[in-house]
Amino acid sequence: MASQSIPGPSSIVESFKSAKALITEPCGALDALAAAHGPTTQVSIGPVRLVIIGDAAHVAELLAADSAAFRWGRVARTLTIVIGKTSMIVSDGDDHRRRRSLAQPAFAKRRLDSWASRIVDETDRLIEETMGTENQREVDLHDLHRKLIRRISVRVLFGDELRARADEIGECIEPAMQYAGQPALRQTPHPFPYTARARAKKARKDVDGLLDSIIAERRSTTAEHDSDSLVDALIHAEHEGHHLDDAEIRDQIITLIGAGYDTTSAVLSWTIARSALHETAWHTLRDEAQLHIDTAAATANLKLMPYATATVDEALRLHPAGPFSPREVVRDVTIGEYTIRKGSVIAYSPHLMGRDPRIWPNALDFEPVRFLSTNPDIETQRRTAWIPFGRGSRSCIGFALAQMQLTLVTARLAQRLDVTITNGRLPNPSGLIVTRPEGGLPATIRRFDAKQAPRLN
């Protein structure tokens, strides 16, 4: 079949408007482009072509295509001052395969299981620290979620010995993370001091110093099998006779923190906001958690918490961490009826797929029970159109950790707190790389004590 031209804005003025909107307000811009031209569209300005794939069948073809037709290094190159030149995110070809294969075993199920109790433990620590002796507080929940996910990330990366230094390590990394979260245009290289770029470079240098001492100390004292931490797993990783050198280990550590921290905390905020604003979700989460998370979290088991799992899946459907995931096309590829030309940037959009009304009934409603269905058609639908972590050779390496954190933290918060979202409405989305709640998530939180205040059904 002859290739068709990809629909999209036809005039240069419309293309500029769409490109600007995609940078400043990506979710709204994606919705507008899909409404006007369909879920798969192209925005071209001169030789620069951005192809957005939001149609589930097209995305399936894209993610099954030969990865040699794409390159990741250049689209993500502005991130290298933070994540480093050897990060798997900016690696291509054999380098990518080797680094990813070496990091992958660090996420083995045995290690994940050992983190469950730490996730609940950190959630409890944050609740106690925030509430103090009070029963009620006005807070920015998004700020608290960021702090919590940062602590959990540092703890699973570095192990319990460095728990006391989690805030110090997190704060050291923070300026670099803030910088990496900005639009690419604001990350244009320049040599000027006292700027966000200079602060990010300094932060990365400080973190390198810290990591060097941790790696040296770990090499001299810890055998891999003695520790559940990701750092130890990376230090001792071996794949087909290859190892990661110290620079590669440092870059993968920063990558894992960077890729996991903003994404997971943003999705956590959307999950909590949606559940607290829903008629029954918060209490259903609480009832389930009461049965399955004991105080020591020894029995925290996601399989026993289907409603919490469904709640997180539903939040990820409506609020995937990133509005799109881009790669550069290095040779012409065919997707459905379209030829995507070499030199284009192609990005699939979990945001558009998760809201496609042809696939999801009442697509914009938050309804966790849709993920509890045992209907095989719905299962298939979920497999094709629910894609917040991508799929294939570049899919999210930390997806199981992210899902575990989101599920356990959501369940534990529902078990221990009542949450009232200020103004009673969902915040607007903002952010190009990660979609965060604009202006944070102001809320009133109250301690919930099940013994004193039993809920009457």
- Which residues are at the interface with ligand HEM (CB under 6 A)? 88-89, 100, 255-256, 259-260, 263-264, 267, 320-322, 325, 388-390, 394-398, 401-402
CA dihedral 380, 381, 382, 383 (to 10 degrees): 50
CB of 111 to ligand HEM, least distance (A): 12
Q: Nearer Cβ to ligand HEM, position 89 or 293?
A: 89
CB of 2 to ligand HEM, least distance (A): 29
What CA–CA distances, in Å, run from 230 to 131, 217, 367?
31, 15, 35
Q: Nearer Cβ to ligand HEM, position 292 or 391?
A: 391
Helix (H, G, I), strand (E, B) or coil at 276: helix
CB of 317 to ligand HEM, least distance (A): 11
Neighbours of 147 (CB within 10 A): 18
**Structural element, H or E, at residue 43:** strand 40-45
Please tell me the distance from the alpha carbon of residue 165 to that of residue 173, in angstroms, as a whole number.
Answer: 12
Q: Is 117 exposed, middle or buried (0-12, 13-18, 19+ CB in 10 A)?
A: middle
Whether the CB-CB separation of 268 and 440 falls below 8 Å is answered with no
Please tell me the distance from the alpha carbon of residue 238 to that of residue 83, in angstroms, as a whole number.
Answer: 22
Q: Nearer Cβ to ligand HEM, position 310 or 396?
A: 396
Q: Nearer Cβ to ligand HEM, position 366 or 448?
A: 366
Q: What is the DSSP string of 207-266?
A: HHHHHHHHHHHHHHH--GGG---HHHHHHT--BTTB---HHHHHHHHHHHHHHHHHHHHH
Whether the CB-CB separation of 103 and 88 falls below 8 Å is answered with yes
Q: Nearer Cβ to ligand HEM, position 88 or 302?
A: 88
CB of 59 to ligand HEM, least distance (A): 10
Q: Nearer Cβ to ligand HEM, position 333 or 397?
A: 397
Q: Nearer Cβ to ligand HEM, position 58 or 100?
A: 100
What is the 3-state composition of the chain as percent helix, strand, coil, each rounded to the nearest 5? 60, 10, 30
CB of 127 to ligand HEM, least distance (A): 21
Q: What is the DSSP string of 54-85?
A: --HHHHHHHHHS-GGGEE-TTTTGGGHHHH-T
Please tell me the distance from the alpha carbon of residue 402 to that of residue 390, in angstroms, as a whole number.
Answer: 13
CB of 266 to ligand HEM, least distance (A): 8
Which residue minimizes CB distance to ligand HEM? 398
Q: Nearer Cβ to ligand HEM, position 58 or 448?
A: 58
CB of 312 to ligand HEM, least distance (A): 9
Pairing of strands 345-348, 48-53: parallel
Please give the sequence-ordered ranges of beta strands (E in DSSP) within 110-196, or none if there are none.
Answer: 136-140
Sign of CA dihedral 181, 433, 428, 261: negative
CB of 291 to ligand HEM, least distance (A): 25
CB of 235 to ligand HEM, least distance (A): 16
Please tell me the distance from the alpha carbon of residue 23 to that of residue 411, in angstroms, as a whole number.
Answer: 34
Of 218, 204, 120, the closest CA to residue 162 belongs to 218
CB of 239 to ligand HEM, least distance (A): 14
- Please, which residues bridge with residue 242 across strands? 239
Please tell me the distance from the alpha carbon of residue 417 to that of residue 450, in angstroms, as a whole number.
Answer: 10
Q: Nearer Cβ to ligand HEM, position 111 or 197?
A: 111
Q: Nearer Cβ to ligand HEM, position 259 or 340?
A: 259
CB of 261 to ligand HEM, least distance (A): 8
Q: Nearer Cβ to ligand HEM, position 175 or 260?
A: 260
